[in-house]
Amino acid sequence: MNPAKRMNGGPAIQINDLSFGYPGQSDLFSGFNLVIDAGKRFGLFGPNGAGKTTLMGLMTGLLVSSGGGIRLLGKEIKKHKSSVNFLFGFVPQDFSFYHELSPVENLSFFGAWSGLSSAVIRKRTGELLDVLGLYAVRDKKVKDFSGGMKRRVNLAIGVIHQPPLLFLDEPTVGVDVQTRHAIIQYLKQLNADGTTLIYTSHQLSEAEDLCDRIALIDQGRIIVHGDPDHLLSEHRQDGLEGLFLHLTGKNYRDQSV
């Protein structure tokens, strides 16, 4: 049985009264609240510097909040750091693997670090390489792969342990249409199998296809939150890009460092 299915139902993520600020800066998040239901394909959007990556860092435990709390599938991440890490997978925007190794070797290593046995790793590696079209190059060094193939390796590592929650930070950036299509279809399949997806991207057309819930955040606050179709009709926009510009403006946001 897919472990992700066991976790379906109820809130997947509860963020209560969250506070966080980088050293020497004012708080980016203050009294921030968000609930993401299990089984959803949740899109988190916002301009550069809005706090998307920071929020994802807080939800995955990479960053530690100064106040409030985050629960993943009912477990407070500050209190259950080690056990919470079994509950989610993370697909960072950067290629987060060893380029000198093959896909099989990368999956073996990250599978072991995800707490899987060697038998399970072998089984899951075969499945993932097959479904993501990497089986033929399973023993080649990843450094020789195309950008699209590397994205698929990045994704495969994030889901090897079949987590009930999957964080995806721009999982399709820099890939061709075919690879994007394949990745989105695979993510939908994962979600259909019970995996809750938390996804950020600047590809809003892709988000329209994938997400069934979205939140638009800016300067550490949620501007809108809800069903994409409902939000588009409420703000009389044809697409998410129009909604995005309508709510966040057309000025550059990343003019300071």
In the complex, the residues that contact other proteins under the rule CB under 8 A are 60-62, 64, 82-83, 85-86, 88, 90, 92, 94-98, 100-101, 105, 108-115, 117-118, 141, 157-158
Between 100 and 234, CB nearer to other proteins = 100
Q: Is 59 or 214 the residue whose CB approaches other proteins more closely?
A: 59
Nearest distance, CB of residue 141 and other proteins, angstroms? 7
DSSP string, 104-165: HHHHHHHHHHTT--HHHHHHHHHHHHHHTT-GGGTTS-GGGS-HHHHHHHHHHHHHTT--SE
CB of 128 to other proteins, least distance (A): 15
User: By C-alpha distance, which of 213, 197, 207 is closest to 242?
Assistant: 207
Shortest distance (Å) from residue 190 CB to other proteins = 17
Question: How far, in Å, CA of 122 to CA of 115, rounded?
Answer: 13
Least distance from other proteins to the Cβ atom of residue 121, Å: 8
* Calpha distance 17→38 (Å, rounded): 20
Q: Which is nearer to other proteins, 51 or 228 (CB)?
A: 51
Nearer to other proteins, 116 or 204 (CB): 116
How far is it, in rounded angstroms, from Cα 150 to Cα 147? 5
Nearer residue to other proteins within complex by CB, 85 or 201: 85
CA distance 103 to 112: 14
d(CA 17, CA 116): 35
The residue among 47 and 92 lying less far from other proteins, judged by its C-beta, is: 92
Give me 210's structure tokens: 């994938």
CB of 89 to other proteins, least distance (A): 8
Distance of CA 133 to the CA centre of its chain: 21
DSSP β-bridge partners for residue 20: 29
> C-beta of 169: minimal distance to other proteins in Å?
10
